[in-house]
Structure 1
């Protein structure tokens, strides 16, 4: 074997430890003992599966994978060299008409410029099974029903519809994807879990000794079968034949992945197995390593014209630098002026990424660019102002968690600026119009990132948001039980990420949009005199909205009035509805929500019964909820506060978190009764 056998585009490959556990997320327990075996035969179906009308494991499922099977083997071809063959076999029960689209199958594969760089689909078979007059009827997929469409310059897709599929059918298909190692050098990720439950998901791979793949398991489901054993591997060429290892992984009764509230992205949570090519070793001929280190990644970034090259372009910013330098010598003031200049000058085009699209100078001239354009030019400007500023790479929440033991450029999809002034550090993202200095948008709050210094080795830093979802609501009102009315003022102060969300929604629009939003939130109110303070003047300060209101209770009766004092901003639903949860809860930011109400009663009226005060505390200082009502003279005072300080909770803490918000909902729904006192 020579190096020309694998002219592979291998940027960003890395070495992973077998069955590693990155970021507390990859959580597999291996059981060496065998579970019940399940080995169906292609083309044969059992009656019980056809008679099934609902899946016992999930009565809401519109379909269930009865069998989900993958197997990878390697062989040698005299013309195309080493080949990797992936065998797929799927058997699906259609329980509802909404799942009939699963009978339409598309299998994409790579088509290079020469026959040596082309994948192909082999041995494609398909069947549909139905019960007809209590008889099992099998309909076979005909070859003429299989279509091949060129979907891009390098992609062809095999498409087919399994015949006679309907509610109650079982569909089944199998095929082999044959890939030269010059095209595909690693097996695709195998997902044991998806949007549909699986009764049996199995993956097998036999790896020849000359290929060193590192496997990383992910997810929160336990493997029912995990076997690995030595095996003599014959690929059809004496150079490559020899010892290898055969692996078998099985998970039974796999639940559908449910996109729960407060997670990052599904790929961080589904149970799966990934492969990375670490090395190829042919004894006596060659050894090629593909593993990377973080030093390799940083060197690649520094040498890349679209990243490190852009950081060395500064002449177009010298005029701005001189203007800021003339205004102040204070480092923090210089940072803020530079940040505001780039923030106001540039418009984000909505794209992330790690490379400057057209170059930071052109983006600056056009006043528009991607997040990398904007934050690299900010970094350059701050360096020109003699500040210690470096790019900080991260993975956004929708991109997935960053795993520190996997050195890959592809792990990142976002860049911000990191500034150190004395003992203080700041994360700066000027792509958002209304983030204050030191505040990252919520999409960037995702665990850790890597600092890439101008000199020296990089390092990982934790992203700890300094702000929370913060708001304070206040009502001061006069209650008239005889008329069944309430008149007063309402104010709300938005801070932290609540202020950012508000400004992003309303700052550029007219004030009547705020009036309409208030009316939508409390449609029973008559709202007047809406006032807004600090729309954008001071991004560090709160946004303050206030109005006069009048509310009328049509069901009020003389001498008695029922009302909920938390008239705005109450929690009406528990965000955590599942009975149990196997995934961590990632809030992104903390929560701070307070309500203060002061209600003046006319003479002769009082609360019929004083509600019981309540305090609920989450373990380990994770959060606190308080609720209190009291009457002082003829004024009813209501105070409630929700404080969640931690942003991440483990699955075993889910019951406490669910109960916490359930108590919030219950107390926020509590009615007060005001009655006229007997004289």
Structure 2
């Protein structure tokens, strides 16, 4: 019966799709009357129609420009979907050129007493802002938004950066009923395409090629079309490095240009081409060869030190303290290493290429490593645009040492979380390259100790102490050192729903060679249930895990923890006077297969004290989706164990 209902729902959706008129402004009463998506009743909104066309225009004065035309129609079912009534258009800019958005036309439609009423977006509802020196933004929020409304808009983006075609995104966090996309490229530009995601995308090619004449320049056009229907929403979940890595999409990247009477200009075809293009850039390779600006300072720094590890530490810490990161990413320098050194501020490339150059000058085998940050995604195919960051690597007989001097609280082989993204590409002096893992091998440890007194009314007071190393320490230092302490404490108390903290202290906040330690006294009400003459409580109290982070029935993308971890809890509980233990959970232990992780729970009693030891390990940064069901069950069992209760009864 369920299958029959589903079949009717699919047929109904298909009939509606065929009947719909997607011409701009032709919104139907059926679209406005729909109260939920028949194929995804949990969706707060749905793209009824998405259309994109990207093509080239030629002007004799400016040459080729990239034009993208967008038309989108959305159905908003409830208040949770109101966010989709705001559209932000990101526009890139260079030193002298910039993208522009024009022709914005938008309406909101509501069904009132059986009639369609429309509200037009006015010019004063469109806002233009400068987000950074590399990006502008045009943003608008649709008027008269109500539950059940339909919004529709269209606009055009004109870009002078013809080699940078924005990704064709086919899958979103809400469903898409109908999608049409088209890419027209002149014969002079050879683009290669790469597909992501788990939904099959079959492009339609125009193999005959149209011959076009623009402003007196005649050339052929190759057309690629995409038509999709009923694209399901992509559900995000915790521990995903970047959901866009798994979103169904197509990227068109310029491979080479062959203009009339000119030689072929290659952009990217193989990784060798990519590396060669990047390395030969004056804003990359040439910057590595500049040494005059730092020679005297580095000579004074390392003149009495010969040990390679000590030289690495001295130079690494010197660069971190000398040049402040301006928060801009990039594999290319902006103002150059000399100016960054002089003004003591620079972007990622200026700081880490400077670091690499200094390490080489000190006689170390140091090379730059191209990185794609977690937010940027994973470069699967040869691409210049895939890398947006650079770090440094020193090769020693004992192994590689990865360094990022933009990270104030980082240390050797403890990279900032943003860079922990599968593999980087190390570039040697001879221009060759190879892949190098960015994930750490050593576990980041967190050890928590508590000694507490439980009262007969269920209140809890005690002492808390934590010790953190490696990435756990890095993460803590970034949160603590970059915050006002009062705000930090307020967030800590709110995290545990009304915890009262006193005598708060942090040790080794900036001494990176030592573990960071946090300690405080606390009081928290109602940490046990009082029923008659019995007291019920979890021995982990407010530290216990309450919710399984993995909720999807099926997951097709990896679980990415970022780095391996080891967490140990040691808790001593002083029982209230006049009570004894009636029952308590059994000690237990279980593990994930292939040494991916383990959980140990040990509980014991000595007189009026209960001692709890929990040892949890996740030994791999990434866990394959093949283990998802096992991992989900592991966390379910862990949560159940942590929430088991001790029962006290009056003596």
User: What TM-score range do you get, normalising by the shorter chain?
Assistant: 0.7 to 0.9
Q: Which residue does 1:270 correspond to in 2?
A: 247
- The within-5 A match list for 1:575-654 is 575-600=549-574, 606-654=580-628
Offset at residue 167 of structure 1 (A)? 4.9
Match of 2:343 among 366, 377, 383: 366
Q: Which residue does 2:644 correspond to in 1?
A: 670
- The within-5 A match list for 1:140-159 is none
Q: Which residue does 1:194 correspond to in 2?
A: 172
Match of 1:327 among 300, 304, 314: 304
CA distance in structure 1 between the partners assigned to 2:333 and 2:211 by the alignment: 47
Q: Which residue does 2:352 correspond to in 1?
A: 375
- Please list the CA deviations of residues 414-435 of structure 1 after superposition, one character each: whole Å capped at 9, or x if unmatched: 2211111223210011222222
- Please list the CA deviations of residues 559-606 of structure 1 after superposition, one character each: whole Å capped at 9, or x if unmatched: 754333214533233333444444432221223221112335589854
Q: Are 2:389 and 1:407 equivalent residues in the alignment?
A: no
- The within-5 A match list for 1:344-355 is 344-355=321-332
- The within-5 A match list for 1:541-560 is 541-547=514-520, 560=534
For the 8 Å contact 2:278–2:284, the answer to whether it is kept is: yes
Q: Which residue does 2:7 correspond to in 1?
A: none
Q: Are 2:238 and 1:261 equivalent residues in the alignment?
A: yes
Query: Over aligned residue pairs, what C-alpha RMSD do you find?
Result: 4.7
For the 8 Å contact 2:589–2:599, the answer to whether it is kept is: yes
CA distance in structure 1 between the partners assigned to 2:440 and 2:150 by the alignment: 50
Q: Secondary structure at the match of 1:608?
A: strand
For the 8 Å contact 1:280–1:289, the answer to whether it is kept is: yes
CA distance in structure 2 between the partners assigned to 1:333 and 1:298 by the alignment: 31
CA distance in structure 1 between the partners assigned to 2:19 and 2:263 by the alignment: 39
CA distance in structure 1 between the partners assigned to 2:363 and 2:93 by the alignment: 51
TM-score normalised to the size of structure 2? 0.79
Decide whether aligned partners of structure 1 residues 593 and 110 sit closer, same or farther in structure 2, where only a CA change above 3 A counts. closer
Match of 1:249 among 226, 246, 258: 226
Q: Which residue does 1:388 correspond to in 2?
A: 365
CA distance in structure 2 between the partners assigned to 1:491 and 1:118 by the alignment: 53
Offset at residue 500 of structure 1 (A)? 1.2
Q: Which residue does 2:468 correspond to in 1?
A: 494
Decide whether aligned partners of structure 1 residues 475 and 172 sit closer, same or farther in structure 2, where only a CA change above 3 A counts. closer
For the 8 Å contact 2:44–2:78, the answer to whether it is kept is: yes
Decide whether aligned partners of structure 1 residues 226 and 647 sit closer, same or farther in structure 2, where only a CA change above 3 A counts. same
Q: Which residue does 1:442 correspond to in 2?
A: 417
- The within-5 A match list for 1:247-326 is 247-279=224-256, 288-292=264-268, 293-326=270-303
Q: Are 2:404 and 1:429 equivalent residues in the alignment?
A: yes
Offset at residue 52 of structure 1 (A)? 1.1
Offset at residue 476 of structure 1 (A)? 3.4
For the 8 Å contact 1:220–1:583, the answer to whether it is kept is: no
CA distance in structure 2 between the partners assigned to 1:183 and 1:509 by the alignment: 39
For the 8 Å contact 1:145–1:161, the answer to whether it is kept is: no
Offset at residue 140 of structure 1 (A)? 11
CA distance in structure 1 between the partners assigned to 2:223 and 2:576 by the alignment: 83
Decide whether aligned partners of structure 1 residues 568 and 337 sit closer, same or farther in structure 2, where only a CA change above 3 A counts. farther
Decide whether aligned partners of structure 1 residues 655 and 251 sit closer, same or farther in structure 2, where only a CA change above 3 A counts. farther
**Higher relative CO (CA 8 A, sep ≥ 6), structure 1 or 2?**
1
For the 8 Å contact 2:444–2:470, the answer to whether it is kept is: yes
For the 8 Å contact 1:146–1:159, the answer to whether it is kept is: no
Decide whether aligned partners of structure 1 residues 330 and 251 sit closer, same or farther in structure 2, where only a CA change above 3 A counts. same
- Please list the CA deviations of residues 277-303 of structure 1 after superposition, one character each: whole Å capped at 9, or x if unmatched: 335679x97773534244444444444
Match of 1:63 among 37, 45, 53: 45
CA distance in structure 2 between the partners assigned to 1:158 and 1:514 by the alignment: 34
- The within-5 A match list for 1:60-209 is 60-71=42-53, 88-96=70-78, 131=111, 133-134=113-114, 137=116, 167-172=147-152, 184=162, 188-205=166-183
Q: Secondary structure at the match of 1:56?
A: coil
